[in-house]
Amino acid sequence: MIISLTGFMGCGKSSVGRELSRLLCCPFMDLDSVIEEREGRKIPEIFATEGEAAFRRMEAEALRKCIYGQASDKLVVALGGGTVMTEECAKIVHEKTVCIYLRASVETLMDHLAGEVDNRPMLAGNLRTRIEELMSIRSATYEKTAHIMIDTNGKTIDEIAREISIKGLFI
């Protein structure tokens, strides 16, 4: 079983994914880290030099390798915030994984993302405005792709990971 974590930037996908993989005693992959390692550069640099469309192609390829090239029967994958916005990626995630949407309020996301705007190319400009704009575009796709939704506001990483394991009956 492959568990994927989706949601907006800063909702805790990577941190929750690491903790969930520890609880479930299975490997963890962060899709953004996989892309950075394979490309030998950070995501902001990829966006700056090649643009979002090229990054999304790299992301789809990395996702296919993570999902279809996995030797283990158990895996937790933290997706990028925009991964499921690509139709092919959303289909793979929904059909081949148990997808968990980590839903967070704009206020929670602003708290988590404060000071990280320089490392997040999609957040250039006013932070609140960009979060609201992107969430209005993405939230329906997150909900449609996910099998389980977890509200993360006011919860610790450990609490979220345990809630996922209980709701998904993974333990």
Higher pLDDT pick, 14 / 123 = 14
Residue 39 confidence (pLDDT): 94
Residue 171 confidence (pLDDT): 46
Kindly report the CATH class assigned to 2-163.
alpha beta
SS (H, E, C) the chain: CEEEEECCCCCCHHHHHHHHHHHHCCCEEEHHHHHHHHHCCCHHHHHHHHHHHHHHHHHHHHHHHHHHCCCCCCEEEECCCCHHHCHHHHHHHHHHCEEEEEECCHHHHHHHHCCCHHHCHHHCCCHHHHHHHHHHHHHHHHHHHCCEEEECCCCCHHHHHHHHHHHCCCC
Q: Convert the pLDDT of each residue in 48-96 to its tens digit.
A: 899 989 999 999 999 999 998 876 678 999 999 999 999 999 999 999 9
Q: Domain residues of the chain, as ranges?
A: 2-163
Q: How confident is the model at residue 16 (pLDDT cuts 50, 70, 90)?
A: very high
Residue 71 confidence (pLDDT): 65
Question: At residue 119, does pLDDT exceed 90?
Answer: no
Q: Convert the pLDDT of each residue in 100-117 to its tens digit.
A: 999 999 999 999 888 776
Task: Determine what percent of the chain is predicted with pLDDT higher than 70.
Answer: 95
